[in-house]
């Protein structure tokens, strides 16, 4: 039996229905491939993001949705962009438009933060065993750009900007509501760093708002089924307190957190009151301690010092790098097993935007950039940054689908899992 049939038959286990029991030690080969695949969806957010201060499009996506995966050499993945996600810039989110050295910019309020994609290729759908919605969130572009309040990004502000007319939260809820009225499917949300935190918040919001509850009619009787939600989180911080974790568990959200044990980000916030603190539940219940944090889901701990390809370093940017983390996933066999590349993922990708690969492999540091940094020769022979097509704002039916989410009937449904 080939891998396609295996994934088709076991996709619920791969998506965490049993909390990845017996799949991590040793690493299940199908799960390994899926973790890397979702990590590459998250990495695409970085590769497509324009943070060039000499570009008037600074803070947006470099590629139109119709050509997004093609431009990133991912056209063979079998997915299409459903919509782009924008977030309002404020004091807690890097204002990339403020970094632009151009007199006019595409938006003075919004940052491009990710996308929603849908599996459309029939071969890929057969391989997956279901149709799939993927939500991918971008993290901070540099490790110095951190935010203090993770929930601010999900709130709507009163700004006169077409990209900010709906909050990031509302954009996700409306789009998922639009897409779930189909056959058997799943929802997978992924992200790295800040994007990992947003992925968990998005999953919680989708489940809490019951957007993953699908209504079917059979013999004039409403039947409800629950669409599974999985989060593949990479190098993410803690997001909520113990009660938040317990509520995510109650909602059936499955989270696999992939981390480098030497990376500091997964250990913040909550340096004092966290899952390792014996009296965490007491201080939350009795004294309502506001700085208590607990991780959600299952953790896959990797150690970069086990890879023979990586330099010994304490550089934060390397330890937190997503491409390096995917390299570690590819080589992880088990805690007591020798590091060995399973899918033989190209090690040159490690140095795409850092300097982590040993010099002996001859791969330059931070090598990825657009050809000629995006400059093209105009008809008169001058080198210029070309104009881009007008950025897509929100689909016209966003408000309609958001209203359907917010006005759902409160009567308790008879829910059956898909």
Q: Does the active-site annotation cover 378?
A: no
Alpha-carbon gap, residue 111 to 97, rounded angstroms = 8
Q: Which of 82, 107, 193, 235 is catalytic?
A: 193
- Residue 143 dihedral angles phi and psi, to the nearest 5°: -70, -10
Whether 320 sits among the annotated catalytic residues: the reply is yes
Catalytic annotation, pick one of 109, 192, 304, 320: 320
Q: Is 73 a catalytic residue?
A: no
Residue of 263, 304, 327, 355 marked catalytic: 263
Helix H or strand E segment including 194: helix 194-208
**Contact present, 358 and 348 (Cβ < 8 Å):** no
Nearest to 188 by CA among 228, 130, 240: 228
Give residues with Cβ within 8 angstroms of 29, minimum separation 6.
3, 342
Residue 203 contacts residue 226 (beta carbons within 8 Å) = no
Token pair 């570009």: residue:
55
Backbone angles phi, psi at 355, to 5 degrees: -130, 75
Task: Name the percent of the chain in helix, strand, coil, to the closest 5.
Answer: 35, 20, 45
Backbone phi and psi for residue 54, each to the nearest 5 degrees, phi listed first = -90, 5
- Which residues are marked as active site? 193, 263, 320
């Amino acid at each position: 039996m080939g891998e396609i049939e295996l994934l088709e038959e076991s996709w619920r286990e791969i998506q965490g229905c049993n909390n990845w029991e017996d799949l991590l030690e040793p690493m299940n080969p199908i799960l390994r491939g899926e973790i890397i695949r979702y990590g590459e969806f998250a990495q695409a957010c970085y590769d497509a993001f324009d943070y060039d201060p000499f570009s008037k499009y600074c803070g947006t996506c470099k590629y139109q949705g119709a050509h997004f995966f093609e431009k990133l050499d991912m056209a063979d993945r079998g997915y299409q962009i459903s919509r782009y996600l924008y977030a309002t810039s404020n004091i807690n989110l890097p204002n990339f438009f403020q970094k632009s050295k151009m007199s006019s910019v595409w938006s003075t309020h919004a940052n491009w933060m990710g996308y929603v994609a849908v599996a459309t290729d029939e071969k890929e759908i057969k391989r997956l065993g279901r149709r799939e919605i993927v939500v991918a969130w971008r993290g901070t572009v540099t490790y110095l750009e951190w935010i203090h309040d993770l929930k601010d990004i999900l709130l709507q502000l009163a700004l006169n900007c077409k990209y900010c007319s709906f909050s990031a939260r509302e954009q996700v809820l409306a789009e998922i509501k639009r897409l779930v009225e189909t056959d058997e499917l799943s929802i997978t949300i992924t992200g790295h760093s800040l994007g990992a935190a947003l992925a968990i918040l998005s999953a919680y919001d989708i489940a809490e708002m019951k957007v993953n509850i699908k209504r079917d009619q059979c013999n004039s009787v409403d039947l409800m089924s629950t669409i599974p939600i999985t989060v593949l989180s990479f190098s993410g911080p803690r997001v909520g307190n113990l009660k938040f974790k317990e509520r995510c568990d109650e909602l059936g959200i499955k989270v696999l957190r992939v981390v480098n044990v030497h990376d500091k980000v997964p250990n913040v916030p909550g340096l004092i009151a966290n899952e390792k603190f014996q009296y965490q539940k007491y201080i939350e219940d009795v004294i309502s301690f506001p700085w208590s944090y607990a991780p959600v889901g299952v953790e896959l701990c990797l150690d970069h010092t086990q890879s023979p390809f990586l330099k010994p370093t304490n550089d934060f940017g390397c330890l937190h790098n997503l491409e390096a983390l995917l390299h570690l996933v590819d080589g992880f066999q088990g805690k007591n097993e020798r590091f060995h590349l399973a899918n033989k993922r190209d090690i040159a990708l490690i140095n795409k935007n850092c300097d982590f690969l040993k010099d002996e492999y001859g791969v330059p540091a931070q090598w990825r950039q657009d050809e000629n940094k995006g400059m093209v020769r105009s008809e008169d022979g001058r080198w210029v940054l070309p104009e881009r097509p007008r950025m897509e704002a929100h689909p016209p039916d966003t408000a309609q689908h958001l209203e359907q989410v917010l006005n759902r009937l409160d009567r308790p449904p008879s829910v059956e899992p898909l």
